[in-house]
Amino acid sequence: ERQAKALRQALGLEPAEEQALAKAAPAVAARGWVPVLFVSSSMPISTLRNYAAQLAKVHGVMAFRGVPGGLRKMGPMAKLTAQILRLDPGCEGPNCVMRDVQLIIDPIVFRQHGIAQVPALAMIPGDPTQAYCERDDDSPRASHVVFGDSALSGMLEEYARLGGKEEVSHAQALLVAR
């Protein structure tokens, strides 16, 4: 309970918001493909915030290989998460509104998709937010990976060009609709 309270404080969440986040459904798009953007804490905050805004529109997921300072220090990751997800970058405290984007820390999904540079986009079938300790080693993988610092729309177009037109169609429609 003490750790949960500290994490809530670091993220700026009040108990009511925390409960709402816990009840949120996993980000599974129509036909089961979820846009997963592989990123790094070394990327500029403004870039990560821009990607989070785009991913919110398509119910995408932002994936980190690890956490700044290692797993023993979750405070820096909590602070980074808050910086990325807060709608108002100047907002401080527990009443800040957050973007509806899931962030995962998953070194295995990086290895499974051969991600050595970021940003990179993959359309992963199923639920990429499932804990890696609960997935099989042969869990579903994306058929393509797109690398490069581009707007999400451009990455989705490139993914479609590589043969993943069906996988990205729902995400593209959501991106255009908003």
pTM of the model: 0.80
User: What string of H, E and C letters represents the secondary structure of the chain?
Assistant: CHHHHHHHHHHCCCHHHHHHHHHCCCCCCHHHEEEEEEECCCCCHHHHHHHHHHHHHHCCEEEECCCCCCCCCCHHHHHHHHHHHECCCCCCCCCCCECCCEEEECHHHHHHCCCCCCCEEEEEECCCCCCHHHCCCCCCCCCCEEECCCCHHHHHHHHHHHHHHHHHHHHHHHHHHC
Architecture of domain 2-177 in this structure: 3-Layer(aba) Sandwich (3.40)
So where are the chain's domains? 2-177
Quick: pLDDT tens for 143-163. Answer: 999 999 999 999 999 999 999
> pLDDT digits over 3-43, tens only?
666 666 666 664 444 444 444 444 444 348 999 999 999 99
